[in-house]
């Protein structure tokens, strides 16, 4: 597939800090640095995968760049315009263009609404289309996600987990967005269903020209769907690379450790493959010391790693790493 190299989203030095409730005994304001100076971009029509351990800031990064959260600092350039500090009213057209698919379709779908009402809601909010026209769109989108017209009158509990995720996808797609944040969107589904939903997302991407940010901790699935992948560690992006290259030639010691923790299904292979396990303490996001955030767990840490935070540098075509070893 020839790629259009135009950027849809460019994030520059993005920070999202959450204030901590201050304790009576501690002086000063404490913050959780959930996203701490992250820069990257997503090309139009590509799938950018985002991986990293639970709690490293993936969801916060996704939600901040979708402007579900207000950024603490930095730029979010969406299709040429910085939307980082736009007010609600100015954001409205962008809200329509950026949609989200959630991990748990059961809790994100209103149990008291039928499928038609669920998908109609964003259409009502974001368009001025007539009821009849909206109904046509709903029927069309249901077909696109592999559901049927008859499903419109049904309620979420009448569907299986995979089907519910299809309803969530239909709802996100109904208003014709450019960008979809899939935050662990398939993590809760059975493996066989995951593959079906992934294939469907890929087909829809080609058909509708969508751009995806695909957040997941299942590394094999991310490899399959992503063109490029970003690895996050403690609020920071530590490596960005074309998907296959990341798996063939991971550079950051954290990426290497993360990849070696993929479960290997073949028992013969599993025995012969020495698996690296990340050891050392996971530092807190609150009181970050100077130097590299991974150094306390890094088997290759040197003196400089305690002194200076490594900056992202390009080490190959589209391959970036933040590590003093390179
Ligand atoms: N709304 C919030 N208020 C305060 N802290 C939050 C909030 N959302 C996330 N955090 C904290 O930010 C950090 C990153 O969380 P998150 O983005 O959910 O990570 P991930 O999606 O990678 O598991 C965690 O320490 C989490 O506790
Ligand atoms: Mg998350």
Answer yes or no: is 87 within a domain. Answer: yes
Percent of the chain clearing pLDDT 70 (strictly above): 87
For ligand 1, mutation pick of 51, 59, 60 (most atoms within 8 Å of CB) = 60
Q: What is the pLDDT of residues 1-25, one digit of tens each?
A: 445 589 999 999 999 999 887 666 6
How many domains does the structure of the chain reveal? 1
Answer yes or no: is 1 within a domain. Answer: no
Answer yes or no: is 2 within a domain. Answer: no
Answer yes or no: is 13 within a domain. Answer: yes
Range of the domain at 211: 7-321
Separation between Cα atoms, residue 90 and residue 72, nearest integer Å? 19
Q: What is the pLDDT of residues 183-219, one digit of tens each?
A: 998 888 888 888 899 999 999 999 999 999 999 877 8
Q: How far is the CA of 51 from the centre of ligand 2 (A)?
A: 10
Say whether pLDDT at 273 is over 50.
no
Within 6 Å (CB) of ligand 1, which residues are found?
Answer: 18, 32, 34, 52, 54-60, 285
Residues 6+ apart with CB under 8 A from 118: 109, 110, 156, 167, 171
Q: How far is the CA of 317 from the centre of ligand 1 (A)?
A: 32
268-304 as b/e, with b when 16 or more CB fall inside 10 Å? eeeeeeeeeebeeeebebeeeeebbbbbbbbeebeee
Average the pLDDT over 227-254 and give the result: 96
Name the band, by pLDDT with cuts 50, 70 and 90, for residue 168: very high
Answer yes or no: is 326 within a domain. Answer: no
User: CATH number, domain at 266?
Assistant: 3.40.50.300
Q: Which listed ligand is nearest to 56 at the C-alpha?
A: 1
Q: Are strands 47-51 and 211-215 parallel, antiparallel or unpaired?
A: parallel
Q: What is the pLDDT of residues 90-123, one digit of tens each?
A: 999 999 999 999 877 677 899 999 999 999 999 9
Question: The tokens of 96 are what?
Answer: 């329509």
Answer yes or no: is 221 within a domain. Answer: yes
Q: Which ligand 1 atom is at minimum distance from the Cα of 62?
A: 17
Separation between Cα atoms, residue 29 and residue 46, nearest integer Å? 40
Answer yes or no: is 97 within a domain. Answer: yes
Q: What is the pLDDT of residues 24-76, one digit of tens each?
A: 666 566 789 999 999 999 999 999 999 998 899 999 999 999 999 999 999 99
């Amino acid at each position: 597939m020839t790629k259009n190299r135009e950027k849809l989203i460019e994030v520059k030095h993005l920070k999202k800090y959450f204030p901590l409730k201050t304790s009576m005994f501690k002086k000063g304001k404490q913050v959780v640095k959930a996203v701490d100076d992250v820069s990257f971009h997503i090309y139009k029509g590509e799938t950018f995968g985002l991986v990293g351990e639970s709690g490293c800031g993936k969801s916060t990064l996704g939600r901040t760049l979708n402007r579900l959260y207000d950024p603490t600092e930095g730029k979010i350039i969406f299709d040429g315009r910085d939307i980082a500090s736009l007010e609600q009213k100015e954001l409205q057209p962008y809200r329509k263009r950026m949609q989200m698919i959630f991990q748990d379709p059961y809790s994100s779908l209103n149990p008291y609404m039928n499928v038609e009402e669920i998908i109609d809601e964003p259409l009502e909010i974001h368009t001025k289309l007539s009821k009849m026209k909206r109904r046509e769109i709903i029927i069309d989108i249901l077909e696109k996600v592999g559901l049927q017209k008859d499903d419109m009158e049904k309620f979420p509990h009448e569907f299986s987990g995979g089907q519910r995720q299809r309803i969530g996808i239909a709802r996100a797609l109904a208003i014709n967005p450019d960008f979809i944040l899939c935050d662990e969107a398939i993590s809760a589904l059975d493996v066989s269903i995951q593959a079906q939903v992934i294939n469907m997302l890929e087909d829809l991407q080609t058909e509708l020209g969508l751009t995806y940010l695909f957040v997941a901790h299942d590394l094999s699935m991310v490899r399959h769907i992503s063109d490029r992948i970003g690895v996050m560690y403690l609020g920071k992006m530590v490596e960005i690379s074309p998907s296959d290259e990341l798996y063939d030639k991971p550079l950051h010691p954290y990426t290497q450790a993360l990849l070696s923790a993929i479960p290997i299904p073949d028992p013969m292979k599993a025995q012969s493959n020495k698996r690296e396990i990340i050891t050392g303490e996971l530092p807190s996001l609150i009181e970050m010391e100077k130097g590299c955030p991974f150094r306390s767990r890094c088997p290759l840490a040197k003196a400089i790693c305690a002194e200076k935070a490594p900056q992202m540098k390009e080490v190959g075509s589209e391959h970036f790493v933040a590590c003093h070893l390179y």
